[in-house]
Structure 1
Amino acid sequence: MGHSKTFGAIEVGDGGDGRWGDYARSRWPELSWWLDPERRTPEHAARGRALFAEHMPELVGVRERLAAQLDRPDGDSFLTFANMRTSFAGCTQIGGAGRLLRNYDFAPERCEGTIVHSRFLRPVIGTQEAGWGLLDGMNDAGLAVSLTFGGRFVHGPGFAVPLVLRYLLETCATADEAVGRLRTIPISTAQNLTLADPRGAVTVYAGPDIAPTEAPEACAANHQEEPVPEGQERFSRTRERLERVRAVGADVAAMLRPPLYMTAYDEGLGTLYTADYRPAEGRVAYHWPGERWEQSFERFTTGSRTVELGTAG
C-alpha cells in the first residue's frame, strides 16, 4: 500500500504576531495528542513549569507568549514538554564539519510535517514537532542538531527531546557549547543527538538513566553503547544502518536507498524525509525519492508539498 504525506513550511517570527497561534490552534487536536492524559493535572503542570524555569529560563517568556495564544487550560503544561507521552522512532544521522545529514523514520500520521522558520531568541530553521519542538534544525550561528531514538525503552523525569533541540539552537552557537549545555538538562527518554558546526561534529548518547556520553563517531542509528535485543534488531536494523552510514558517509543518494531508507510505514518505521543541513551556509535541503525542497535563512519559502513515500531506489 502506498503512502503520501503533505509537508508544509511556515514562518512564525518571534511568536508574538499571531502566526504561530493561528497555526497551533488549527492543529491543536493533532498537537495535543502528545500531552500524556495521565499528566493533565494542576500538579503536573506546576512541576513542568518549575522544571522549565530551572533548566530553560531563557525560553520562559517565549513559552508564556505562545501559551497565551493557545488559550487553553493545558496549553502551558503542553508547551513545557515535561508532561509528554513517550514516543519511540527510528532514524539515521551523520555529521561532519559544516554538515548534518539525517533520515527521519516514523509513522506518517504522527509526524507534524512542518518546516518552520522562527526568530524566538535568534533565527532558527527546523523540522517542527509538537508545536515548537524540533526533530532537527539549524541556527544563524552555524550550529545544526538532530535526534534519533536511542533504542532503550526507559523513561524518567525530564523533557521530551524535541524541546531540548529547540533550546540548544536558541541558546548555543557551537557544538561544544551545546554539548556542555546538554549535560545540564534532564531528558525523559533514551536519545542520540548529533551536533555539527563549521569546525566539526559529535554524537552524544543521552537518557534519563545515563550521563550524556560522546559516541566514538559523529553518527547514530537507534542504539547506544550496547546492542539492542535480537528481535528489536531484526525490526529496526539499527546496527546494519549504522554500519552502512559509516561506510558511505554523508551521501544523500545512499539515504534514499535501503537499508538506510525504511519502508515499514504501517509499523511506524518508514522514512518520512531526508534532511541535508549545511548550517555554515544557512541552508537545508529536504529530499524524497524524486523530490527536493531547499530552504535557507536568505530565502525561506512558505507553502506545502505532497510527496509519495516508500519509493526508494
Structure 2
Amino acid sequence: MTGRQKAFRALDIRDGTDGRWASHTQALWPHAGDWFSEEARTPEAAKKARALFETHMPELVPVIDRLAGELDRPDGATFLTHAALRPFFSGCTQIGGDGTLLRNYDFSPDACEGTIVSSRFLRPVIGMQEAGWGLLDGMNDAGLAVSLTFGGRFVHGPGFAVLIVLRYLLETCTTVEQAVARLRSIPVSIPQNITLVDSEQVMTVFVGPDIPLTVTPDACAANHQQAPVPEEQERFSRTQERLRAVRAAGVGDVAAMLRPPLYQYSYDEGLGTMYTAAYRPGEGRVTYLWPGESWEQSFAAFVPGARTVTLGRED
C-alpha cells in the first residue's frame, strides 16, 4: 500500500525569546481559523481565560505574557490560552509500563502540526507540539512522560483544552503522583484519557467536563471511557478492538503499533496514524516511528531538522 506524504520538523525553541518559536508560530497563523472559533477570540474571552489560568495554572501566566510579547499580535495572548480552541476529536492508542510510554496518534494529516519541540519555558521539555505550544505527548527532564487520547464522548464544557494541560503537567510536575494530584483540580473541556509514566509509577486516568478524575484498572487507553461502546461508534473507531490489541501486545511490542489494528489507515476520516512515539523519560529520550523509518531525539542530543515521511505504507 502506498501512503501519503507528511512533513515533520524538529525545533529547539529554548525559552521562546530568540525568534525561532515566534517565526514558526507566525507561519501557522493563516491556519488559526481552522483551530480557533471567532466568537471566542474576544477581549471578554481572553479575560476569562486568563482568570482561569491564574486560578488553576498560575505558573504558566508569565510564560503566556513572554510568548505573547514575541508574537506581537493583539490576539496573541488569547491564542496562547487556547481559550478559543475548537474541540477536536481524534483517535489514538496508548500504553505505559516499565518506564516506557508507547502511543499512536491518529488524526488528519492536513490538521496535524507535526512539530517535535525541545523547549525550556520553565524546565526542559520535549514533545509533539500542536496549536503553537500545546502538546499531544511529551516528557520532561525530571523523567515524567504524558500523552492523551480522546475519551470518545462528544460532550463539551467549561475548562482547558487538554493540549495546554499536558504542557502544564510537564512544566511543573516531576512524578506521576504529583501530576495526577494537579489534574484532580484542573477542569478539562472535553473527555480525555491521559497516560502518565515515571521511573516508579504508571497510570491512565479519565478526565472530562462531566466526570471526576477516574483512575483506570490498567495503564492503557484507546478512545472510550465507558464500555460497552455503541456499535456504530465501534465500527467507526475500533476503539475496543484497539484497546484489546494494545493490552495483548504490551508496552514492549513497538512493532505491533505499526500494523493493524493499532496502526490505522482511515486518513480521509481523520483517524489515520500520524506517528508512533516511544518515550523513555528516565533516559531522557524518545523515538518517533513510521513504517520503515524512525527519528530519535533526547535531552542530551536534540537535533533540529525536517523529514518527510510516508504515512499508511505497508512494508
**How do 1:108-123 and structure 2 match up within 5 A?**
108-123=109-124
Residues 33 and 68 (structure 1), Cα distance of their counterparts in 2 relative to 1, 3 Å cut: farther
Q: Any idea what the Cα deviations from partners look like across 1:85-113, whole Å, max 9, x if unmatched?
A: 01000000000131000000000010000
The structure-2 alpha-carbon separation of the partners of 1:6 and 1:203, relative to structure 1 and needing over 3 Å to count, comes to same
Which amino acid counterpart does residue 283 of structure 2 have in structure 1? Answer: E
Correspondence for 1:258 = 260
| 1:16 partnered with 2:17 | yes
Q: CA deviation at 1:226?
A: 2.9
* Counterparts of 1:184 and 1:289, CA distance in 2: 39
Aligned to 1:134: 135
- Give the TM-score taking structure 2 as reference length: 0.97
Residue identity in the other structure for 1:115 = I
* Corresponding residue number in structure 2 for 1:81: 82
Partner of 2:53: 52
Alignment root-mean-square deviation, CA? 1.1
**Structure 1 residue 83: Cα displacement:** 2.2
TM-score by length of 1: 0.98
The residue that corresponds to 1:292 in the other structure is 294
Deviates more, 1:75-84 or 1:58-67: 75-84
Q: Please give the alpha-carbon distance, in whole angstroms, between the structure 1 residues aligned to 2:103 and 2:56.
A: 27
Alpha-carbon distance, 1:241 to partner: 0.2
Q: Distance in 1 between matches of 2:33 and 2:46?
A: 14
Aligned to 1:226: 227
Runs (4+) of structure 1 moved beyond 2 Å?
30-33, 225-228
**1:1-313 alignment to 2 at 5 Å?**
2-250=3-251, 251-313=253-315
Shift of 1:312: 3.6
Closer, same or farther: CA 32–295 of 1 in aligned 2, 3 Å? farther
In 2, the alpha carbon distance for the partners of 1:26 and 1:69 equals: 13
Measured in 1, the distance between the counterparts of 2:169 and 2:314 equals 33
Distance 2:19 2:52 in 1: 27
Q: Could you list the runs of 5+ residues in structure 1 that have no partner in the other structure?
A: none
- 2: distance between equivalents of 1:146 and 1:264? 21
1:246-285: per-residue Cα shift (whole Å, max 9, x none)? 0110111000000000000011000000000000000000
Q: C-alpha offsets along residues 165-214 of structure 1, whole Å, 9 cap, x if unaligned? A: 00000000000100000011110000000000001210000000011100
Q: Could you give the per-residue CA deviations for residues 210-264 of structure 1, whole angstroms, max 9, x where no partner exists?
A: 1110011000000013333211110100000000000110111000000000000
Identity of matched residues, %: 67
Task: Check the 8 A contact 2:40/2:83 in 1, yes or no.
Answer: no
Q: 1:37 to 1:228 in 2, by over 3 A?
A: farther
CA shift, 1:37, in A, is 1.7
Offset of 1:63 from its aligned partner?
Answer: 0.7
CA contact (8 A) 2:138 2:147 kept: yes
Assess, with a 3 A threshold, how the Cα gap between structure 1 residues 38 and 226 changes in structure 2: closer, same or farther.
Answer: farther
CA 1:118–1:38: 2 relative to 1, 3 Å: same
Q: How many residues align?
A: 313
Distance across 1 between alignment mates of 2:97 and 2:112 = 26
